[in-house]
Homo-oligomer: A and B are copies of this chain.
Amino acid sequence: MRLGPDITRVAALMGEPARANMLSALMGGQALTAGELAREAGVTPQTASSHLAQLETGGLVTRRVQGRHNYFALAGQDVAEAMEHLALLADRAGHMRTRPGPRDPALRRARVCYDHLAGELGVAMLDALVAQGRIVDAEGSLVLTEAGHAFARDFGVALAPAGRRPLCKACLDWSVRRSHLAGVMGAGLLSRIYALGWARRMEGTRIVQFSAPGLAAFEGVFGRV
């Protein structure tokens, strides 16, 4: 009936092509300027400004003014998660942004979800961490074990107590349709993967491209993928 939160406003914000494109661009995790987002969405700066204002008051993105630049980022992990969820539905219904091209498999293979690794490799990584006893599933929320903390230390992930953000969090993956690892640990692992030179972001996309030796090293730690 007429109870509970009103989905309409949030859904409508995501249901407009220009805004959806901006949000998708921000799924990469890094903050982008208004101008960049305008180009990304294919609209003029004025139009983008209007959209961004709406997204901000709708609680989907945050704004940080820096000099004469306005940097925007997703308001939180929740937003990225909800979008992946919608992507799942869209995928099942066959609503694609373009015909699945050669880069589509790469996107399913490994991509960025906000600030952590998603796709086949992301799911495999979480699987491995659980199999290795470094993460356990307690009532649907993931917990980093003692061994997990030791692993993080060895691997070079600093687990700073980042506000109220959880250390580990399950995030649904639209392509594999299973969970991958989010949270401080998930973000830390990905940035470490970058730092180790195992992989790098493909310019202007969400694709994470592993080098051959990088993939071998990844598989050495997390098993054959």
Interface, chain A (partner B; CB < 8 A): 1-17, 20, 23-25, 58-60, 78-79, 81-83, 85-98, 101, 103-104, 107, 126-127, 130-131, 136-142, 170, 174, 178-179, 204-207
Contact = CB atoms under 8 A, between A and B. Distances in A.
A86 B5 CA distance: 9
Contacts of A93: 9-10, 58-59
Contacts of A103: 3
B6 A97 contact: yes
Contact of A78 (B8, B88, B139): B88
A72 to B, nearest CB: 16
20 contacts: A1-B204, A2-B97, A3-B98, A3-B103, A4-B104, A5-B90, A6-B20, A6-B97, A8-B95, A11-B12, A11-B14, A82-B86, A126-B139, A126-B140, A131-B139, A137-B137, A137-B138, A137-B142, A140-B179, A141-B179
Determine which residue in A5, A60, A96 has the highest number of CB atoms from chain B within 10 A of its CB, and name it.
Answer: A5
Contacts of A20: 6-8, 11
Given A3-B206, A6-B97, A85 B82 contact: yes
Given A5-B91, A11-B11, 8 more contacts: A5-B90, A7-B90, A8-B16, A59-B93, A82-B89, A137-B140, A137-B141, A139-B178
